[in-house]
Amino acid sequence: MIKITETAAPFAATISGLKLAGLEDESAWEEIRRTWAAFPVLAFPNQPLSIEELEAVTTHFGDFGVDLYVYPVDGHPNVIEIRRDADEKAPPFAADAWHSDWSFFETPPAGTLLHAQIIPPVGGDTVFADCTAAYEALPEEDQQELEGMKALHSAILGYSTKGAFANDAHKRSMKIRVSEDAEARHAHPLVRVHPVTGRKSLFINPVYTVGIEGMEDAEATEFLSPLYTHMLQEQFTYRQSWAPDMLLLWDNRRVIHAASGGYDGHARLLHRTTIAGEPVIAT
């Protein structure tokens, strides 16, 4: 029987009591998808999954999303490695860098699955912020102002030839693809409506949101900064610690996330897939 355990954060839960590998019971998948709509961060502890089984699990949530800037695992075009070797000196991928995965795409991924292979004995948590709760806590006049705006998203700061990964001072084990096409900008509604729940969320993040339509970039940076401070308040955030074989599923339409470090000298390896999304719905 599926057991749903709530966490201290109202948007994160743990699911146990079932084996995902080879699970064919469509009613169980329906219950998982329903639970995911209520809890956009879902942990499934103790789920040993081969890469093929992770791929099969992903397809119960939709088509595969595209990972343009990280080369996939050989023979598995929809799976990437989030990897840092024990002797690696480059900062952990996405450490302290709050983002919604690939938000600069025209149709950003609906969700992401991350499956733990090697987990360090200390550190390496993934942290989340609930952008729906943050939106709903704003005064009504702020909500109205934001609903009329479009934010500009781009991969420039990370993946362009001028970006952070092109200028890594240390060798990195992750297979990052740097490209000039990462400079492209894409506008999305600053407040989006979730296609399943109908709830509104702030759809901005400090890594990929590089401007606001109709504003100078410097003005946009100043405008966005207090919003990020608001979104990252403790009452909207949740910290997920890892164990080997844990699967984590999150909803990029509702949460932003960041990796954390704190495990120098230890290896960390996870397999990641994304679930294709839909065009961002404005209010």
Whole-number minimum distance, CB 261 to ligand SIN, in Å? 10
Whole-number minimum distance, CB 13 to ligand SIN, in Å? 18
Q: Does 110 bind ligand SIN (CB under 6 A)?
A: no
Q: Find the binding residues for ligand SIN in span 39-98 (CB under 6 A).
A: 82, 93-94
Q: Does 113 bind ligand SIN (CB under 6 A)?
A: no
CA 228, 115, 196, 280 dihedral sign is positive
Core vs surface per residue 207-218: b (16+ CB within 10 A) or e: bbbbbbeebeee
Whole-number minimum distance, CB 198 to ligand SIN, in Å? 26
3-class SS letters over 14-48: EEECCCCCCCCCHHHHHHHHHHHHHCCEEEECCCC
Whole-number minimum distance, CB 82 to ligand SIN, in Å? 5
Per-residue binding string, ligand SIN, 167-206, x by CB under 6 A, is ----------------------------------------
Which structure tokens are listed for 32? 């998982």
User: Could you give the CA distance from residue 128 to residue 196 in angstroms, rounded to a whole number?
Assistant: 20
Whole-number minimum distance, CB 63 to ligand SIN, in Å? 19
Q: Does 126 bind ligand SIN (CB under 6 A)?
A: yes
User: Could you give the CA distance from residue 108 to residue 123 in angstroms, rounded to a whole number?
Assistant: 29
Residue 234 per-residue DSSP state? G
Strand partners, 273: 113
Residues at the site binding ligand SIN, with contacts judged by CB under 6 A: 82, 93-94, 126, 257, 259, 272
